[in-house]
Structure 1
């Protein structure tokens, strides 16, 4: 039987998140808080022109993680907007076109993985020494081709391939840069190392999150992304508090 993080001394050692080990129960609280936390929003409508307050989800869980997988580029853009915000007309077309253009690269990545998850790929697949044609080279090209809207594009691709395509934003990408090692194909290699180094802890966290918030089953690739984003944007304390109170 898999131990629950609250009942063990399991920790995650994630240098990109911080120098101290992250206890699994705090990681669980952070993710649960990401799913459940609410914030106040003031809005006006024709029926209440004076305005009123309402509580809305503080983070993107309901609009992204719990959203069904799309089968079209149009739907993919809408899902990405649920996480990163609405796009103007030009931005919408940029993301849509980037998703269409990247499709052959994504197909090549899926073929390269051959059914394996990102964290099960061999280290050499995230090294420049094995290029061209490696998973790392394909992911680097996908991110480059995504252009200025890379966060939306990678969000859509991660939602479509949650165990294979890392979701990175400019903020989390910058946080990973100091941990690059010689020969890495890109910052995705840092994520890969941290997932492999914490394999058992992330497996337990995946199971615990699925039990605590059953409306979605994010992979450890998404859990790493959430923990890193909450930390780099100074929102982890808020999420942990909401997760403990849930």
Structure 2
């Protein structure tokens, strides 16, 4: 959510380089604080012998966790349980840069606004965006988790290696919208797995859709990200819909 807010504000104020760097600094600082708090929670869990005993006695089969906040990754290593990762984002951005060959000359960093066809200057820009990922992992995020590994994991470890060693990675990505590249054998792409077969519309909505005639219906849904949508952008979207020749818009603002 905060990443979407950051990108939205950065793109709207992209005419100012200083503004972009200020936003980047604020975002990275907030990100570092979030991972620090996560690691503090993990330390409290591992220091609680009764809680650790409960985990061990429960004899769980595996740990299914989100790698974007990697507390579960460390916990799986500590409990010596198989690790299954969900989604595509890790502690330092897009997970594909951790598990797949990603030549920066034609693999754009998410958020750069680039494609796989880049000029020389665009490749320089792509490299700068990638340097933020490296900085984020090596300076702002990695040390928080690595400190836990050094103290609580026999033999030590680092968070990037733990991510790469996951037993299964259910990677939410779809090659229809992404740039394909080879990956490790433990990665399973599950883009679109949340989609379900269509169901008949409620009677009132069906009547509305049928009344649209030849113009059809525009369905716009933002899911949970609607909370990160700036009010001025929401107003601009609504003004576009209001100028349509007929009432043909269904604007779904889901907030759950």
**TM-score interval (norm. to shorter):** under 0.3
Q: Which has the larger radius of gyration?
A: 2
Taking structure 1 as the reference length, the TM-score comes to 0.22
Taking structure 2 as the reference length, the TM-score comes to 0.22
Structure richer in helix, relative to its length: 1
Which structure ranks higher in relative contact order (CA pairs < 8 Å, sequence separation ≥ 6)? 1
